[in-house]
Structure 1
């Protein structure tokens, strides 16, 4: 990208308070110009295409398309912007960011962390820093998140055909009579292809799925509520039409709380 006096930014987050906070913190930097904000992935992609910003602050966990889907699409643009993830994501994802030289700031945001991220951005945009900074390997990140060139879908059997579901459509996966059953908002399908939950969980790494017990894998974005249960276990209620209940085994409770940022 050509050097510019101002770094033109777009902010994408489905939560208005997070957008307001980030907007306020970035206003303290004289070389940052916030040109547009978006509250959904689809709107954000459109704005990036129209405005061609230098930098995008991108939330990951959004309804429908998430931040990785935004990244996947904008990487196809002639001049894709630099991306800083603004996230409350789990440790697995953070390790992936670090390994692929992608910067991120954790919610709740701090001025000091944003300042460090912007120093890195200035180095990449203007090549005026003393230390060498590698260009982020976004394609490697997408591959690590189950995206990139290999499109991630969950295959199920329905009406004599093989249906391909987006991970976001899946509420939970449950072993029943030695077969994985896939629950969506309104339907239940036999899984096609994956034979074990362990294998399916491995393929879904980087997606918001959590193995609650030996026989159930839940999509954390579809957990409606949870409560303590017997013997140190938890019980979850999913937000599908059946309102399925899932028991988190005692040994998995700590990991569950960590994934939700409650530990």
Structure 2
């Protein structure tokens, strides 16, 4: 539960995003999300954010507040008309494609629900990072990082799979891994 102190446009977007993770908006909360330029309430934990970066606040809340929730520790995937219950740590990478969102493990691939953005937010604390517009990779399975042309990288993960980090996401990878 959080209180929002921001413009109506940002409030509408934040309320929509937070509802996806069952985080309620309530004025009586001990935590306040405050857009830069708005007055900070006294006796509350305040998280100040820039309106353009409102999704970063959602990521922060989802990774911190929801860390102990069951759905972060296990998820279900569909493969060959059977559901499997898995741990995020077993996933090498997640990919959005024409068949929907797929989670790839060492031995199989599974169709999973939700969006890539959802898994990026919920699994950030588990070591997952977005590497291009359609893929998240589990950094625990990265074996090699190969510098590529035009400020990009290729990640070699388990099973000798190679994934390309786009130029847009290579800065975040460098900052995360202190390259």
User: Which TM-score tier does this pair reach, normalised by the shorter chain?
Assistant: 0.5 to 0.7
Q: Is the 8 A contact 1:212 1:249 kept in 2?
A: yes
Secondary structure of 1:186's match? coil
**Relative to 1, partners in 2 of residues 1:258 and 1:214: Cα closer, same or farther, differing over 3 Å?**
same
**Relative to 1, partners in 2 of residues 1:237 and 1:149: Cα closer, same or farther, differing over 3 Å?**
closer
Cα separation, 1, equivalents of 2:136 and 2:65: 18
1:64 is aligned to none
1:238 is aligned to 157
1:147 aligns with 2:67: yes
Cα separation, 2, equivalents of 1:253 and 1:149: 30
From 109, 119, 122, the equivalent of 1:188 is: 109
Alignment of 1:28-107 (within 5 A): none
TM-score (norm 1): 0.41
Cα separation, 2, equivalents of 1:222 and 1:247: 15
Unaligned segments of structure 1, at least 5 residues: 1-98, 100-140
**Relative to 1, partners in 2 of residues 1:149 and 1:172: Cα closer, same or farther, differing over 3 Å?**
closer
TM-score (norm 2): 0.59
From 169, 175, 178, the equivalent of 1:252 is: 169
Secondary structure of 2:103's match? strand
Give me the CA root mean square deviation: 2.3
Q: Could you report, residue by residue, the CA deviation over 1:28-61 in whole angstroms, capped at 9, with x for unpaired residues?
A: xxxxxxxxxxxxxxxxxxxxxxxxxxxxxxxxxx
Please tell me whether Structure 1 or Structure 2 has the larger radius of gyration of its CA atoms: 1
1:169 aligns with 2:90: yes
Q: Could you report, residue by residue, the CA deviation over 1:52-75 in whole angstroms, capped at 9, with x for unpaired residues?
A: xxxxxxxxxxxxxxxxxxxxxxxx
- Which 4+ stretches in 1 moved above 4 angstroms? none
Unaligned segments of structure 2, at least 5 residues: 1-44, 46-60
What is the CA distance between 1:230 and its match in structure 2? 2.4
Q: Is the 8 A contact 2:93 2:135 kept in 1?
A: yes
2:18 is aligned to none
Cα separation, 2, equivalents of 1:204 and 1:232: 26
From 61, 78, 99, the equivalent of 1:157 is: 78
Between Structure 1 and Structure 2, how many residues are aligned? Answer: 119
Cα separation, 2, equivalents of 1:189 and 1:255: 27
**Relative to 1, partners in 2 of residues 1:199 and 1:215: Cα closer, same or farther, differing over 3 Å?**
same
